Amino acid sequence: MLEIKDLHVEVEGEGIEILKGVNLTVNKGEIHAIMGPNGSGKSTLAKIVAGHPEYEVSKGDIMYNGESILEMDPDERAHAGVFLAFQYPVEVPGVTNNTLLRESYNTIAASRGREELDPLEFDDYLRDKLELVDMNPDFLERSVNAGFSGGEKKRNEIFQMAVLEPTLSLLDETDSGLDIDALRIVADGINKLHGEDDAVVLITHYQRLLNYIVPDHVHVMIGGKIVKSGGKELAIELEEKGYDWLETHATVNGEAK
Amino acid sequence: MSETKALESMIGEEYKYGFNTDVEYEDFPKGINEDVVRLISEKKDEPEWMTEFRLKAYRAWTEMEEPSWFNATYEKPKFDKLQYYSAPKNKPKLNSLDEVDPNIRETYEKLGIPLEEQKMLAGVAVDAVFDSVSIFTTFKEKLAEAGVIFCSISEAVREHPELVKKYMGSVVPVRDNFYAALNSAVFSDGSFCYVPKDTICPMELSTYFRINNMNSGQFERTLIIAEENSHVSYLEGCTAPMYDEHQLHAAVVELIAMDNAEIKYSTIQNWYSGDEDGRGGIYNFVTKRGACRGKNSKISWTQLETGSAVTLKYPSVILQGDNSVGEFYSVAVTNKRQQADTGTKMIHLGKNTKSTIISKGISAGNSDNSYRGQVKISKKADNARNYSQCDSMLIGQTCGAHTFPYIESANPTGKVEHEATTSRVGEEQIFYLQQRGLSEDDAISLIVNGFCKEVLKELPMEFAVEANKLLGIKLEGSVG
Ligand SMILES: Nc1ncnc2c1ncn2[C@@H]1O[C@H](COP(=O)(O)OP(=O)(O)OP(=O)(O)O)[C@@H](O)[C@H]1O
Ligand SMILES: [Mg+2]
């Protein structure tokens, strides 16, 4: 589904290289976890897959369902089923969650030739989705993320994911900021949404999340590269040992190339 | 972005599609002097007192200086080259909508304007049932039944001279300001509305206007009087882009509300704003003022200003009656080279008077958008209160937003609150919405509509949807 090949990414117009040759393959039905120290490039990777204009691909390619998506605008990628749950969800004052979701849903539906829902149908549709992440319906009438607590914003991201039913979900530190109960609920929700035809990439700092959502693969990113990949035991190993032992590994690798 | 082009080209093609009138054969002298003023009055068959009113205004005007205190630069109108009177216009008729420029039709459709109205706006001949004359008649009958007088100012001068004489110039005196004086001397036409005691005007006076007020002329004059316990809501303008061969528009609007009366006045202004370099756009220099004469009276101004090259406009309320209420809700959008300096004045004279100001300025392109507001609490206005909120939103890096609040209080019991914010539509916000599937233009439109929500909800219902779309169209392609 997603194939990232030797991806080099710079900050647009500034020549600062952040990703320095990332390779990653995600297949249908899989869950991948990406871990790594602060500033290693995890969010940048997620954002460039979603098409953030601040970054520029200087080398390599991103293939999605067999085709390069480098030339696609962010909205076109969203139509194609790419979803990014933001590490820092953005506030849109004056626009209700409901309004945004209906626009999003219908725009995406239209682009896929699916039927659009009128406000009443959409309302019904939303009820089920609210339940999935145990969200209070009051949030529908509140402005998108405006004044939401940190945890509420994260839950809202997964609610949006539930509504839009993407095929590739990139969840950037969705667990950070969620309380213990919320983490369980949101993780349950993600598990229910995930099926054979879609894939999930989790970016996280904490092994705890991976107890709830069990990944097929775990990758460690350091210094703009994936320096180690493994199964879910790798996450436990990281929890014990930290990143130091890999960091030497990374520089050695870096120099060797 | 292609839509911006579409708008551009539809503006460029006005001749081809009949937005201009045929050459006026009537030979009216250019420039202005006492004879010209007299001639205008004569052409309109006005009584002596009206002619005198005009002359007095003209004489005052000659002694006044064109103002320059606002935040806008433009080429001054050449007053000796203007033509101050034009005969009623006949729009060239097209036979069907198919003959209308497809770009214009696209805009109408985007705005969601009903088919029959599209025809009228574009100057296409319409079916007998939907003929504007017949609509006009139905409206008139309904209003007459309720006792509401609603007609053109010219007609009011003839039919209701005692009312016009009593109220015209009573809120905006002829020497009030340079443009008001000029308007008072040469006003072309406009509307007059009188709502008698204990009467609720049976309809929004908007539906009527949308169709009939297309050719208001450059010096429009409006007078609305709401007697005790009456209520009226009035909307001028429309969302469809409007063109006019006159560059200078200097209207005067006067509102008068007696005890317990309420006037709601809404404006949607979308005059031609000029090309990329600002050439050819309309100068919109309007004096709008309401007087809350009676106790518990209320005047509310709502405006959506999106057009014109230069807008100078400060709809104000004089809060004379005790417990009276003044409101000003404004959205001003500027793009390209547009300049808007707009705001309000709330003059508190009576006790327990209350005013609210909500202003939303949106600037994009190379435009400049200023809010200028004055709140004045006089010595006798015990317990007067004002709340002002002025928010500016910037789109892109080359536009400007400014806020000039003036507060004067001569009464220690007065309470004035002022809040102001400036925000920029950020790349991050647009990316977020695009990630959720919206196009860049839709993302901007959504952000802007969210920003203006408090004001847009004050517009008459049937215009709210169009207004939303208009904002989107105005700002299409304004980022990146
Ligand atoms: N626009 C930018 N300009 C300059 N540097 C940038 C820009 N965007 C990201 N960076 C830098 O790139 C590096 C990677 O950032 P990124 O947000 O991808 O890290 P991360 O792995 O997600 O970190 P965290 O775990 O703290 O979320 C950081 O050093 C960051 O400062
Ligand atoms: Mg991050």
Superfamily of domain A2-252 in the CATH hierarchy? P-loop containing nucleotide triphosphate hydrolases (3.40.50.300)
Given a cut of 60, is residue B214 above it in pLDDT? no
On whether any CB of chain B is under 8 Å from the CB of A130, the answer is no
Q: Which of A33, A7, A85 is nearest to A203 (CA)?
A: A33
Q: How far is the CA of A203 from the centre of ligand 2 (A)?
A: 8
Given a cut of 70, is residue A69 above it in pLDDT? yes
Chain B hits for A92, Cβ within 8 Å:
429, 432-433, 446-447, 450
Q: Where are the domains of chain A?
A: 2-252
pLDDT of the residue at B465: 77
Q: Of the candidates B436, B440, B451, which has its C-beta nearest A100's C-beta? A: B436
Give the number of A-B residue pairs with CB atoms closer than 8 Å.
78
Residue B348: C-alpha distances to residues B274, B327, B390, B425 (Å): 38, 12, 20, 36
pLDDT of the residue at B129: 44
pLDDT, greater one: B247 or A228 = A228
Average pLDDT over residues A25-48: 96
Q: How far is the CA of A148 from the centre of ligand 2 (A)?
A: 20
What would the pLDDT profile of A188-215 be if each residue is shown by its tens digit? Answer: 999 999 999 999 999 999 989 999 999 9
- For residue B475, what pLDDT band results from cuts at 50, 70 and 90? confident
Q: How far is the CA of A46 from the centre of ligand 2 (A)?
A: 9
pLDDT of the residue at B93: 59
Residues 6+ apart with CB under 8 A from B332: B303, B305, B306, B311, B340, B342, B359, B360, B361, B362, B369, B371
Share of chain B above pLDDT 90, in %: 49
Residue A239 to residue A221: CA distance in whole angstroms: 15
Q: B368: which DSSP letter? A: E
Collect residues with CB below 5 Å from ion ligand 2.
A 43, 87
Would you tell me which residues 415-434 of chain B have a C-beta closer than 8 angstroms to some C-beta of chain A? Answer: 426-429, 431-434
Residue B344 to residue B316: CA distance in whole angstroms: 5
Instruction: Read off the tokens for B279.
Output: 């050439």
Alpha carbon of B310: minimum distance to chain A alpha carbons (Å): 28
- Residue A42: CB within 6 Å of ligand 1? yes
Judge whether A195 and A142 are in contact, CB under 8 Å.
no
Average pLDDT over residues A3-29: 94
Closest Cα to atom 3 of ligand 1: A11
pLDDT of the residue at A130: 95
- Residue B323 φ/ψ region, left for φ over 0, alpha for ψ in the -120 to 50 degree band, beta for the rest: left
| Dihedral sign for Cα atoms in the order A93, B439, A199, A237 | negative
Residues 6+ apart with CB under 8 A from B132: B120, B126, B211, B212
Q: Of the candidates A54, A93, A104, which has its C-beta nearest B450's C-beta? A: A93
Is the pTM higher than 0.90? The answer reads no
| Sheet strand arrangement including B354-363 | B231-237, B262-269, B298-305, B325-334, B354-363, B385-394, B415-424
Given a cut of 90, is residue B426 above it in pLDDT? no
Residues 6+ apart with CB under 8 A from B279: none
Residue B248 to residue B272: CA distance in whole angstroms: 12
Alpha carbon of B444: minimum distance to chain A alpha carbons (Å): 11
Q: Which of B173-187, B266-280, B291-305 has the lowest mean pLDDT?
A: B266-280
Average pLDDT over residues B111-127: 66
Q: Which of A7-16, B238-247, B440-449 has the lowest mean pLDDT?
A: B238-247
Given a cut of 60, is residue B448 above it in pLDDT? yes
> Contact B433/A100, CB-based, under 8 Å?
yes
What would the pLDDT profile of B8-29 be if each residue is shown by its tens digit? Answer: 333 333 322 223 333 333 567 7
Chain B hits for A95, Cβ within 8 Å:
446-447, 449-450
Alpha carbon of A189: minimum distance to chain B alpha carbons (Å): 19
What would the pLDDT profile of B94-114 be if each residue is shown by its tens digit? Answer: 677 777 777 667 777 777 677
Residue A104 to residue A96: CA distance in whole angstroms: 12
Given a cut of 90, is residue B472 above it in pLDDT? no
- For residue B215, what pLDDT band results from cuts at 50, 70 and 90? very low
Q: Distance between the two ends of chain B, CA-based, in angstroms?
A: 10
Neighbours of A159 (CB within 10 A): 25
Share of chain B above pLDDT 70, in %: 81
Q: Of the candidates A52, A79, A99, which has its C-beta nearest B437's C-beta? A: A79
- Residue A16: CB within 6 Å of ligand 1? yes
Average pLDDT over residues A36-57: 96
> Contact A92/B437, CB-based, under 8 Å?
no
SS3 B462: helix
Nearest CA in chain A to B444: A92
Share of chain A above pLDDT 90, in %: 85
Judge whether B260 and B197 are in contact, CB under 8 Å.
no
pLDDT of the residue at B130: 44
On whether any CB of chain A is under 8 Å from the CB of B275, the answer is no
Instruction: Read off the tokens for B471.
Output: 């904002």
Q: How far is the CA of A89 from the centre of ligand 1 (A)?
A: 16
pLDDT of the residue at A41: 96
